[in-house]
Amino acid sequence: MDELELKYLRSLAHQYPTIAAASTEIINLQAILNLPKGTEHFLTDIHGEYEQFNHVLKNGSGSVKRKIDEEFGNTLSSKDKKSLATLIYYPKEKLELVLQEEDNIEDWYKITLHRLVQITKRVASKYTRSKVRKALPKDFAYIIEELITEKAEIQDKEAYYNEIIHTIIRIDRAQEFIIALSYLVQRMVIDHLHIVGDIFDRGPGPHVILDTLSHYHSVDIQWGNHDIVWMGAASGHLACIANVIRMSARYGNLDTLEEGYGINLIPLATFALETYADINCDAFSIKYNTDYNTKDLSLDMKMHKAIAVIQFKLEGNVIMRRPEFQMEDRLLLDKIDYEKKTVTIDGKAYTMKDVDFPTVDPANPYALTPEEEQVMERLRQAFTKCEKLQSHVRFLFARGGLYKVYNSNLLYHGCVPMDEEGNFKTLTIDGESYRGKALYDVLDHYARKGYYSKNNPTEMQKGQDIIWYIWAGPNSPVFGKNKMATFERYLVEEKETHTEHKNSYYHLLDNEEIINKILTEFGLSTKHSHIVNGHVPVELKKGESPIKCGGKLLIIDGGFSKAYQGKTGIAGYTLVANSHGMRLVAHEPFESTEAAIRRESDIFSDSVILETSNTRISVADTDIGAELRESIHQLEELLQAYRDGILVERDV
């Protein structure tokens, strides 16, 4: 035994000081390996739609309903099952309605508590008692454990359990107990949550979603392009800040910034009112929904145009500062002919819809005016000093990355950049070329530097510029297109200039050789692994399928965002992987939380079984299983060291 191994065993001996302690833990871990694996839940492209997100999270993409069906079968009516499911999703709100409607509330409590205890038993059955105990709400931990744990020594168990429930009702704790059990069922029905990118933009509540996720028991996040630009904004990168504000303005979502995060936009509003007072802003219309207050329309359009022009300037400066990005084709402000009202793109002149830019100096088009500089500095201060945003972004860095390998699944938001032949495309940073997995790793590395390297301004600036590249660069894994045609979509009539060509990856998704190449690149088996992919909405109504390459690749963006639902025809896909296999779930649009509570109108979801395992998948078959086996090996080494006298037991 070498010195390093002995040092490790001595450290382990502090935790397990005797043969008995080490043996007990080995037996415990070995038993855990044989339990069914926990249920994983995959969501992507939430885009601020917090009501639908919260509902899907509460119902586990139908997992709660399936547990109710399994437990009660035909012994409960469909109506009663629906009511029980709604109660589990929204216990506080549903109880308020029940109290108004029920004549005999004590009987209702008794029946409901028995049903909830049964469901809790079922969802907890595949976990260790220790794991369940850790999940129990503090106020009711002992009582719940008594109710869901078989007590062989108690002869009349039914009377014992009935008395517990009777007492809960008698001492007026039934409501709190129902709420506690409902949240416990939600907690236990999903063991681990994967968010495969794009929490931000489009919808009104990304801050609500991140508040929820930051308190979730087990979650990882793969950054999407809309997440990364907010992360860049939080780091203080001006081009990212401009992008975030422009998109919020475009979709009538400035409330997310002002009310959700408390970011002061008055400096921008004041500047826009003064500078664009008599300027035509028609090209910068607002794509608003029914919640939008149209009295703000004129001001929002002025703010929209003001920040868009600032964005074009700031992005031009990044491109000129970083020639290695090879994005010179995006420098368009200097290609405008103001007399002819045209812009030259790829050598061809196109008529512009608008050339009225009072802050653009044709001789130096990428320079911010002093007023624009002042506005951006105040906005930078607002973003970097917003504690709620900073807390959310630190959470994204702590729990997230550009990709994740988990239980033989490779998760990422966009694409692995490729050429037409399926070769990995390269990006050069500091004279070194990166491709495939190495490209993901180096971009992830610099994104963290862009946020955290506060003592090294040069490294921080480079990292922030790379964050912006991840948002909009042609070889970015999360963007996946040859260009971001923001300028053209606003200002050029000809649709041919609006086209953003997808990376060749998207044309190769049914090529098994290519998919196997990607899996191998990330160290996965080509036989039993999958790629779970977000980012590109699956247009179901055009006949597109989310299942690619015979089920090896799954694109689970089906339009959570209302902005995409007209295009996709549905309201998002989610994926559930449990001990029986994998299930893809397609969701209909969610009406509202109020309708779900009052009318018990759950999301209608249609599921497709992708894979079924002949034998139930156990913890031993997972990444956690591999870690447990390694722990068992180390404990067995410790056991042998005790028995050989290399280490001496303590407290014997």
Q: What is the pLDDT of residue 468?
A: 98
Name the token pair of 243: 């992008």
According to DSSP, the β-strands at 40-43 and 573-578 are antiparallel
The per-residue pLDDT for range 348-365, each reduced to its tens digit, is 999 999 999 999 999 999
pLDDT tens, 224-252? 999 999 999 999 999 999 999 999 999 99
The pLDDT assigned to 421 comes to: 94
Q: For the segment 467-519, what is each residue's pLDDT rounded down to a tens digit?
A: 999 999 999 999 999 999 999 999 999 999 999 999 999 999 999 999 999 99
- The structure tokens listed for 13 are 């001996």
Question: Model-level pTM?
Answer: 0.91
For 512-540, the pLDDT digits (tens) are 999 999 999 999 999 889 999 987 766 65
- Separation between Cα atoms, residue 138 and residue 123, nearest integer Å: 19
Three-state DSSP at 325 gives helix
Q: Give φ, ψ of 592 to 5 degrees.
A: -175, 160
Q: How confident is the model at residue 202 (pLDDT cuts 50, 70, 90)?
A: confident
Closest CA to 210 of 191, 192, 230, 240: 230
pLDDT at res. 592: 75
- Nearest 10 degrees: CA dihedral of 194, 198, 200, 204? -80
Please state, in angstroms and as integers, the Cα–Cα distance from residue 615 to each residue in 197, 252, 364, 456, following that order. 32, 51, 68, 54
Neighbours of 403 (CB within 10 A): 22
First to last CA, the chain: 25
Give pLDDT, residue 21. 94
Residues with Cβ within 8 Å of 472's Cβ and at least 6 positions away in sequence, in order, are: 225, 243, 315, 327, 479, 484
Dist. CA 227–CA 650, nearest whole Å: 51
Name the DSSP class of 103.
S
Give the containing element (helix H, strand E) for 584.
strand 581-587
- Give the CA radius of gyration of the chain: 28
% of the chain exceeding 90 in pLDDT: 71
Q: Which residues, in sequence order, are CB contacts of 57 under 8 Å at separation 6+?
A: 41, 43, 186, 190, 193, 212
Contact 261, 572 (CB under 8 A): no
User: Residue 567's pLDDT band (boundaries 50, 70, 90)?
Assistant: low
What is the C-alpha to C-alpha distance for residues 106 and 169, in angstroms, rounded to an integer?
A: 7
Q: What is the pLDDT of residue 568?
A: 47
240, 483, 505, 585, 641 from 536: Cα distances, Å: 22, 15, 12, 17, 55
pLDDT of 196 strictly over 90: yes
Mean pLDDT of the chain: 90
Which of 294 and 406 is assigned the larger pLDDT? Answer: 406
466 confidence band (pLDDT: 50, 70, 90): very high
Q: Which residue has the higher pLDDT, 130 or 374?
A: 374
What are the tens digits of pLDDT across the range 624-634?
Answer: 999 999 999 99
At residue 404, does pLDDT exceed 50? yes
- Tens digit of pLDDT for each residue in 591-622? 677 877 877 766 565 667 666 777 889 999 99
Range list of H helices, 347-504: 370-384, 387-399, 436-452, 457-472, 486-491
Q: Which two tokens stand for residue 35?
A: 């339990």
How would you write 228-254 as a 3-class SS string?
A: HHHHHHHHCCHHHHHHHHHHHHHCCCH
Confidence of residue 553 (pLDDT cuts 50, 70, 90): very high
133-176 tens-digit pLDDT: 888 888 888 888 888 886 655 666 778 888 888 999 999 999 99
Single-letter amino acid code for the residue at 265: L
